[in-house]
Homo-oligomer: A and B are copies of this chain.
Amino acid sequence: MALKLPFLSNILSWFKKDTWSGALSKVLPFVKRGEKRVLELPSPRPAQQDEEVSKQYQNHACPNYMDLKMHFRDIGRMNAIVETLGRDFLTAMPEGAYKSRLSQISFLSRRLHEDLANEKIAGLIEKAHTHLHKCPDEWDEWDKANLHEMEVMYRHHCKVNPDLMEKRAHLSYEGRRRHRAVLRDNDWDSAKGFLQEMIDLQREIAESKCLADNEHATDAPYQALMREYIPGARIADVDVLFNDLRTQLKTLLPEIMEKQKGEAAPASLDGCYPSELQLWLNKSLLSLIGFDFERGGLYETGHNPVEGGTPDDTRLVIKTSDQGNFLQSMKSALHEGGHGLYIQGLPRTQWRYQPVGQDLGAAVQESQALLVEMILGRTKSFFEYLSPRVEGLFQDFGAKSMSADNLYALKTRVKPTADRKSADEVTYFYHIDLRTQLERKLINGKLKVKDLPEAWNAGIKERLGVKPKTYADGCLQDVHWFVGKFGYFPSYTMGHAMAAQFYNKMNRDIRDIPELLRSGDFMPIKNWLNDNVHAKGRVMRTDDLVQDVTGAPLGADSLIGHFEDRYLRAA
């Protein structure tokens, strides 16, 4: 795939913008005292018969970089294997395999870490950099970006004790089950101890990273964690975006609610929507938006919905257990479908497994998910496509609740809730804001786990005026902290704002999106996303991508504009 890349200056500036200090040789991998760790991996082999000769295997003037590509290919394979083990864990694995599977996953995560955080990799990266400086003409944008991303990955791992990585993998998968149990039993007491253990571990990991980066500000550990999900993100930039949204929503939200007061409340869904038909519906909608079932699938789970995998094997996992509300599983399917399109659209054939072939992290991921789920998936025209079809599928011709108008009204009703998952698009920000502020304090030590329920309830009351009835309805509702995802939450709001910016630009590039949605033709949209976002992998930084595609840096205005259009101006 030949991409025109009019941003060479941006790429060159990465190395200036780099916030790390010191040469790589000073950032040697974590080695226990008295312990010598030498890892010799097999030397690179020629492309195998089943691999097309892609950029991954293409010869390069710098043999050390070739070596690195083979090392990172194998690291990428291990990552893909962990993903498959994790997806199997959620879908097909028998319950009794739980403990041994946790050990297998954490074992492999440790090996992956050790393959990455060693002196050989550090040495190769330094040598490749030397070559890059000597012979810059031999390096194209993708190779340069690939080398940079290798260094980023190395730096994220090098100072962290492998024991911590093994424990993190273990706790993360254990946390998924724990969360299901504490949620079912509204069991704060048992949650508390687990969260404490998880937070202690995350802080220890974060502090190892900060030490490596010579950063010691209060929020540096939180920022270090956040950057695992949102590469290069700065907590200061997050604050600016959130403050702006907070300010603008302060007047906008009451206006919207006032307007909706005058409108009739939508009719609730009142049929029975069998799980297997919901699954069929969701598969069909995913096919419609261009998700390739040849290279992926939609699976059921008893756990929380999740997406993941590689462009060759992208698995979306949802629940369809609520037989009284097909919109619930559809929301998950569209959300995970947005992620899925991104994963499948990555530069697979050229850069499979290489760092530059990966997605840009959680903020861009969520932009794709929320664009499909919230921005496109809640348009009136999409419901005009959907309505007659669900009347047929669920055998209820003329059902009032399934009319396009009613479905639209149901999904655009703005009403503060205690629950993030059933939140409308406008109040959604407050849920993210609350979690972001709380997790920051949990990591920087200003909030103790035992005080979390109180802080949560005060925070949601202050923001939305609602009060959770139970722990499960409050601070236990999300799986994120249980799987160790501290620093992930900001990506929802960053992604939502980014999605609105992309949507604005897309509306200028593609004629009559509403008509396309009404007729079920998602292809021009999918192609736009493929070309403008997915196929770029990590060749650009997130901020450069947003600037390049939308002509402006990431900000709140497009999202606010979208809210005004949909909730104030529309009929």
Contacts and interface: CB of A to CB of B under 8 A. Distances in A.
A35 B40 CA distance: 10
Contacts of A392: none
Given A80-B100, A94-B294, A103-B50, A110 B313 contact: no
A37 interface: yes
A96 B51 contact: no
Which of the four size classes fits the interface of chain A? 35 or more
Interface stretch (A12-20, A152-160, A209-217, A295-303): A295-303
A374 B94 CA distance: 28
Given A94-B313, A294-B94, A103 B48 contact: yes
Contacts of A80: 100, 104
A153 B352 CA distance: 34
A405 interface: no
Interface stretch (A83-91, A219-227, A245-253): A83-91
Contact of A103 (B35, B39, B43, B77): B77
B37 A94 contact: no
Interface in A3-56: 35-40, 42-43, 45, 48, 50-51
A94 B293 contact: yes
A561 B545 CA distance: 78
A177 to B, nearest CB: 12
A436 interface: no
Interface string A88-106: 1001111111011111100
A97 B299 contact: no
* Central interface residue in A36, A84, A294, by most chain B CB within 10 Å: A84
A114 interface: yes
A39 to B, nearest CB: 7
A100 B352 contact: yes
B35 A43 contact: yes
Contacts of A310: 97, 100
A162 B42 contact: yes
Nearest to A32: B43
Contacts of A101: 312-313
A187 interface: no
Contacts of A39: 39-40
A81 interface: yes
Interface in A289-318: 292-297, 299, 310, 312-314
A399 interface: no
A108 interface: yes
A380 interface: no
B81 A104 contact: yes
Contact of A97 (B51, B95, B312): B312
Nearest to A52: B99
A95 B294 contact: yes
B92 A312 contact: no
Nearest to A36: B40
A495 B541 CA distance: 61
11 contacts: A36-B40, A42-B162, A45-B163, A50-B103, A50-B170, A93-B313, A94-B314, A96-B292, A96-B312, A96-B313, A100-B312
Ranked 9 nearest A-B pairs via Cβ: A96-B295, A97-B313, A100-B312, A96-B294, A97-B312, A50-B99, A77-B104, A77-B107, A94-B297
Interface of A: 35-40, 42-43, 45, 48, 50-51, 74, 77, 80-81, 84-85, 88, 91-97, 99-104, 107-108, 110, 114, 162-163, 170, 174, 292-297, 299, 310, 312-314, 352
